[in-house]
A and B are shown apart, each in its own frame.
Chain A
């Protein structure tokens, strides 16, 4: 019954790559926006960081969310008799989300990859397979996480910004305080990202450690990153004259180093969460076909799938995304590294924890929440609330759009391959 098995896998790979390419082309720029906008890194550095850490994030920590997209939202037991329907559906979801993203980014609408793929999967499952095929509890959790993630990252950003004020800016010698405390923040960035990744991500590359070992590795990673940071801070040249016009020019130089580390964390977090939108359905198709039509909840995902997703994202970034990043860099003015850092680290932390928990969330929404958090702490000169509203409203439109397209494609595939 899987006479089209190879065709399905090839189609899924093509659609998955297309989707991953789209993530790299459009979405990575959003994740890098605050880092590039704070001018702490050049466009070129941002692109290199994005390419390396998006890939690492996708490959090392993308497994949990991919598993959710692959098998978390549909009750596969019900599908045991007709696995080909699940294949059609996953292909349809990929194609629908990819095309919807293409249309939306052409038109300049702010849409989320995560929302389109979740909308597409729930859409085809509810209509094509039947309402009872959808794991509504799990879908409910995902939707809840879309509300919780921006709020959480906003709260973290607020706290981070306040702590930076207390420890550094509101002291008698902000520059000395910055040189003392910024390395600790750098440690924090390395530690959190490493810890979450260790706990959830690394089974598929054959690394299984105890909890204590996880902590030790995370601390080691944090310390190594911190030492690299200290080296770069030592290398900075401070110019007392520069502080005359804007008093914190030299302090912000120290934050520039921190921002660079945080940008790596953000790219890693984004890769770990958003790769799943592209390769989750692909993984589902591959596992059904490889198990010869048997719908299994247990099968382990092949790591080449995550690799493919990582490559797709980097390809999109290299071919098109770098242009968007350059535009973002020019578009954002007056965001200093200290404020950019608070927003970015808050978003990165939230996203990486969500990735570890297997929740597909929107990086863009999380980052918007974080920026608002800094704004609440009176740290940003002007936030455009109209844009905030548009971004948050967009997913209400994206869910049905993804769903309707997926349903259309589902019946199209069913017509072509028979079912």
Chain B
């Protein structure tokens, strides 16, 4: 087998696997929107099949995560720190896990939210999916960052993306407060155990945006070195 040592010099880049992982994660999160539509309409068959899809996507993301971790031996000389990279990967992974947990809990308990909550709830899920999408946009800039040696205009571009992510995240906080307020007004008339789980679902949806923001802030740490 003819070979040259110089080609071994270039290790496998962790950048594009990380981006592929994030794409898978985002694909998982976007399925939450049809899932919520089905669940709120109490179409549990449809919800079941979307939930299947979410689980499959999440499993695929897990496989990518494992592969990337295995491909990242010590002794790689990289433009970003190994720790930051693995941290971003963990955050991304937790987003997909959270989406799976949300759909699992709602389906398992066949949860029914009060009608007045439906519109703001969908809004909330939608906005959180925006946050993860924005995190993905920023992560997709990593290869351009390497091309530019982490300098100049590209840094400004990514920083503005991260700033936009922060704005979206604070939006989701506002929506979360509003949705909780609606639930709070009605909680006395609802079965207490159901209410407890509704609050939990709201927390978890909010976590999606929080985790997306943490992906952004890790990325910011990568910029400044």
Contacts and interface: CB of A to CB of B under 8 A. Distances in A.
Nearest to A377: B149
Interface stretch (B11-19, B90-98, B179-187): B11-19
11 contacts: A33-B6, A110-B5, A169-B154, A247-B144, A320-B2, A334-B16, A379-B79, A381-B79, A382-B10, A385-B77, A390-B5
B152 to A, nearest CB: 3
Contacts of A30: 4-6
A385 B10 contact: no
Contacts of A108: 3
B75 A382 contact: no
Given A327-B3, A382-B76, A332 B153 contact: no
Interface of B: 1-16, 73, 75-79, 143-144, 146-154, 225
B7 A165 contact: no
Given A171-B153, A381-B146, A367 B77 contact: no
* Highest count of chain B CB atoms <10 Å: which of A332, A364, A367, A382: A382
A169 B8 CA distance: 28
Contacts of A379: 79, 146-147, 149
Contacts of A384: 8-11, 75-77
A328 B6 contact: yes
Contact of B4 (A171, A247, A328): A328
B143 to A, nearest CB: 6
B5 A386 contact: no
B2 A324 contact: yes
Given A172-B153, A375-B79, A387-B9, A336 B4 contact: no
Contact of B79 (A29, A37, A380): A380
Contact of B144 (A246, A334, A375): A246
A323 B1 CA distance: 9
- The contact size tier of chain A is 35 or more
A371 B147 contact: no
Nearest to A31: B6
Contacts of A334: 10, 13, 15-16, 143
A391 interface: yes
Contact of A37 (B10, B14, B76, B151): B10
Given A165-B149, A336-B147, A383 B76 contact: yes
Contacts of A328: 3-4, 6-7
Contacts, number: 144
B150 A378 contact: yes
Binding site of A, secondary structure by majority: helix, strand, loop or mixed?
helix
Contacts of B78: 381-383
Given A246-B143, A334-B10, 5 more contacts: A29-B4, A170-B152, A364-B6, A378-B79, A380-B79
B61 to A, nearest CB: 21
Contacts of B150: 378
A60 B1 CA distance: 33
A34 interface: yes
A33 to B, nearest CB: 4
B4 A324 contact: yes
A418 B32 CA distance: 89
A84 to B, nearest CB: 39
Contacts of B6: 29-30, 33-34, 37, 328, 332, 364, 367-368, 371
A346 to B, nearest CB: 14
B113 to A, nearest CB: 39
A327 B71 CA distance: 21
A415 interface: no
B147 A368 contact: no
Nearest to A372: B77
A163 B18 CA distance: 29
